[in-house]
Amino acid sequence: MGQGTIIGVIDSGVWPESKSFHDEGMGPVPSHWKGICQQGESFNSSNCNRKIIGARWFVKGFQDQLPFNTTESREFMSPRDGEGHGSHTASTAAGNFVEKVSYKGLAAGLARGGAPLAHLAIYKVCWNIEDGGCTDADLLKAFDKAIHDGVDILSVSIGNNIPLFSYVDMRNSIAIGSFHATLNGISVICSAGNDGPISQTVENTAPWLITVAASTIDRTFPTAITLGNNKTLWGQSITTGQHNHGFASLTYSERIPLNPMVDSAKDCQPGSLNATLAAGKIILCLSESNTQDMFSASTSVFEAGGVGLIFVQFHLDGMELCKIPCVKVDYEVGTQIVSYIRKARSPTAKLNFPKTVVGKRVSPRLASFSSRGPSSISPEVLKPDIAAPGVDILAAHRPANKDQVDSYAFLSGTSMACPHVTGIVALIKSLHPNWSPAAIRSALVTTASQTGTDGMKIFEEGSTRKEADPFDIGGGHVNPEKAVYPGLVYDTNTKEYIQFLCSMGYSSSSVTRLTNATINCMKKANTRLNLNLPSITIPNLKTSAKVARKVTNVGNVNSVYKAIVQAPFGINMRVEPTTLSFNMNNKILSYEVTFFSTQKVQGGYRFGSLTWTDGEHFVRSPISVRAMEAYADV
């Protein structure tokens, strides 16, 4: 349950009154904790307990860029959460047990974080002012304090959009701060970003990070749409209020544009609807891309006087709250509704209350919004590393009004997936306190699942549906039970990371500045492929390439592992040796894999795997190869 571990959460703060942060059943504050409970506006030392053992806030960097005062916002000059995001991520990682939690009756049940008995240390760096944000200066300060305070794990649901800054650029504060955290034995878990399904959009790509993609879960919220012809169709919704109008007139947005010459009414862009024609009606809006979301569309309909929204989108992942009753449907259902509207003389519809259903057979799926690889800055490093639940996650949140003390809300994003893995890392850390961050990452990646609850391959949501590949889900969907006992791990030390940075072409001075050690980047053969990661990615294979790896036995002392090769299409693989025999004197063994292209040019990536097994453990490394220019006759 994470006993004795300290999870640092770098985010927007915490709402300490949430029941998720009570300390009943918590153990004593760990002796290695050296942090403080920093006071401030509406936050004092009594807000800390054995669950929230410390809290700090960092605002100087933000104020230097955007001066503000809290009287003009919902913010607090303290660790108190002014937005809700930080409370949500903290409770997902390590929220305590809370019974009878729901959102207005939906998803009712017992709430708990991934590591409910782990301690929390809060580092507020993100501010709910205007467009909001978190500055590099505040982030770096938070990393420094977290390292000083003695956290064991850091959860960072923050990222930067592409183009990404280099790993030695001070504007890549998460890469720099996490590098120093890693040197101090602190695992850093980050979100992959929400710019999917476009490839090469993944964020937080440094090789010492654990980067998390977002997946769906087996819980859904089916919502009936009853048409005037008594036909019932189904969509998804989490909006529970204001369903008291019964049947209402129904139309679709293209019939009621404010300006017929502008094609912005189709997906209900702001100000695109004719209020006279929209008033009192349920409006169907169709999104052909990710340029419009359900909340924004519902706002447009609400402002035009509409009383309900049917939002048509190819993917149904990620529900949003609306100001009016709203239901999301796919193109098939949307087309049936439009066909009814076109045929009926006076089309009407009724939007019913959503229900909660658990046990969806086809799950998980990769969320459409989850950013995809390959990495745009270091394609030899597979990112994301792992996928975890990040769609319609119910967790603690800042209350919507002053009369509430406790609040829970649904949020979706890789920000929600990140703390799921954080909680799992706390479980691993509590059982294996001496494992390095690299060993823990390896345990997650090599034991992850590539199949869903139905036994079929995991699919990804996007403009089309296809089998998820390593650039979608990394090693696969996280499997906590197997990650605790992985058998073998791929460990990595500081020297190897420094060699990697030098191989990126960074100057000796820039690497010295990052590491706070005198570094001389000698000109030598490219070592990026040989960084001891639990995956292998070759972005430009020309004829052949040899990759070296070493594995550490953390399972049975005397064990023999054999290689199982699933070569990418058009690639031959030769593993040497094919058997690894471990004993008391041989705990770390090395092997090499030689890749040969059997086709002249492939253009795109092909995927495979290399699995080491002793019959009990299956240590799987995802493989991604792109062959270029040449081929070998082997």
Active site residues: 11, 85, 415
- Tell me the C-alpha to C-alpha distance, in Å, between residue 83 and each of 231, 264, 322, 393, 418: 41, 31, 18, 16, 18
DSSP characters over 126-180: EE-STT-EE-HHHHHHHHHHHHHHT-SEEEE----PSSPPPTTSTT-HHHHHHHH
Distance CA 154, CA 473 (A): 21
Burial (CB count <10 Å: 0-12, 13-18, 19+), residue 356: middle
Distance CA 89, CA 84 (A): 9
- Tell me the C-alpha to C-alpha distance, in Å, between residue 224 and each of 199, 246, 406: 35, 13, 30
Distance CA 420, CA 135 (A): 25
Asked if residues 541 and 571 have their Cβ atoms less than 8 Å apart, the reply is yes
Strands of the sheet containing 386-389, edge to edge, are 52-57, 119-124, 6-11, 153-156, 187-191, 210-215, 386-389
Distance CA 408, CA 400 (A): 10
Distance CA 295, CA 303 (A): 12
Q: Cα torsion for 423, 426, 430, 436, to the nearest 10°? A: 150
Asked if residues 405 and 17 have their Cβ atoms less than 8 Å apart, the reply is yes
Asked if residues 563 and 610 have their Cβ atoms less than 8 Å apart, the reply is yes
Strands of the sheet containing 559-566, edge to edge, are 536-541, 618-627, 606-613, 559-566, 579-582
Give me the residues paired with residue 286 across strands: 312
Q: Can you tell me whether residue 478 is helix, strand or coil?
A: coil
Residues with Cβ < 8 Å from 404, sequence gap 6 or more? none
Asked if residues 297 and 270 have their Cβ atoms less than 8 Å apart, the reply is no
- Tell me the C-alpha to C-alpha distance, in Å, between residue 148 and each of 34, 131, 140, 313, 455: 7, 31, 12, 47, 45
Amino acid 103 reads: Y
